[in-house]
Every structure is written in structure tokens, then in C-alpha cells.
Amino acid sequence: MLSKKICMVGRFGVGKTSLVDRYVKNHFSEKYHTTVGVSISTKIVDEHIKLIIWDIAGFEQENHYVPYLRGTHGLIYVTDATNPSSVDTLLTIQKTNPQIADVPSICFINKKDLIEERQWQSQQDDHIKSISKQSIWTSAKTGEDVEKGFILLSQQFK
């Protein structure tokens, strides 16, 4: 079985921890939980792949992600559909960490369930396309397309 280190990156409050909890434990909490440093979870995708998911605390300092991203096999960029400026954080992460340019990735556009609060514009879609070849709208709250997103990333390892 292949073990793959997956790093989840994005601004604080976009739902990284909630996405991991939904995928690994099929659980969602309305309470906001701040991640300090990194939280690591594992999930077996199939008989061939085990994901070691690093939920990295959202932090706006330039070199914050460097030690966490070493040896990563895949990236999940997470942005918030109700906060278009959260895409800017992803652009900054990518720009300040050139070593991740060729790492398999997907972007989760989270909080799909908050339709009335969405502030998404085509400009954000353009930015997402420059960050990752794949993106998916997800909802950690309802679970919609969360597992599908992890599977899409896992398929890039085969």
C-alpha cells in the first residue's frame, strides 16, 4: 500500500479542519476549531493508497508553510466561496513555495451550502485555474463532494 502525504493549505477559517473531519470521521461541528501548527489524520482510500492528511494552520506569514510542505505528495488548496479574498492566500502560498509547482493538487471551493452568502466571481475562477488544474465545489457541512475531491486527488497518484 502506498502512503501519500497530503497537505491542506489555505487561509484560516476556510474549513480545512471541517473538511478533514467530514472525510475521515464523517463528522461536522458548527464550532470553530483553530488548528495550532498541524493536525495529522489518516484515511485508507482503497487497497492501494493510504492518505496521511496534514491539516496545516492557516497563517499569513510568508515562510510559514515551508517546513510542512517538505516531502508532500499532494496538495489540497482550500478557499471559501463566501470570502473571495481567500483565493489571494492560495496565490501567495503558491508564489512563495515554488517547490510545490509540480505536486499533484486540487482546489476545494468550500462552503457550497451557503448559497445566499456566496460572493464568487469569474475572477476567482481564473485565479483557481492558475493554482490547480482541478477544482471542486464542496460543503464540509453537508458532505457534498468532499469524498469525491479526495478521490480525484488520489487518482493523480495512479
Domain of residue 92 covers 2-155
Cα–Cα separations (whole angstroms), residue 127 to 15, 26, 34, 81, 99: 19, 30, 26, 13, 19
Neighbours of 19 (CB within 10 A): 26
Q: List, for residues 91-111, the tens digit of each pLDDT value.
A: 999 988 999 989 999 999 999
Q: Which CATH number does the domain housing residue 49 bear?
A: 3.40.50.300
If one counts the domains in the chain, the total is 1
Q: List, for residues 131-143, the tens digit of each pLDDT value.
A: 999 999 999 999 9
Query: At residue 77, what is the residue type?
Result: Y
Q: What is the pTM of this model?
A: 0.92
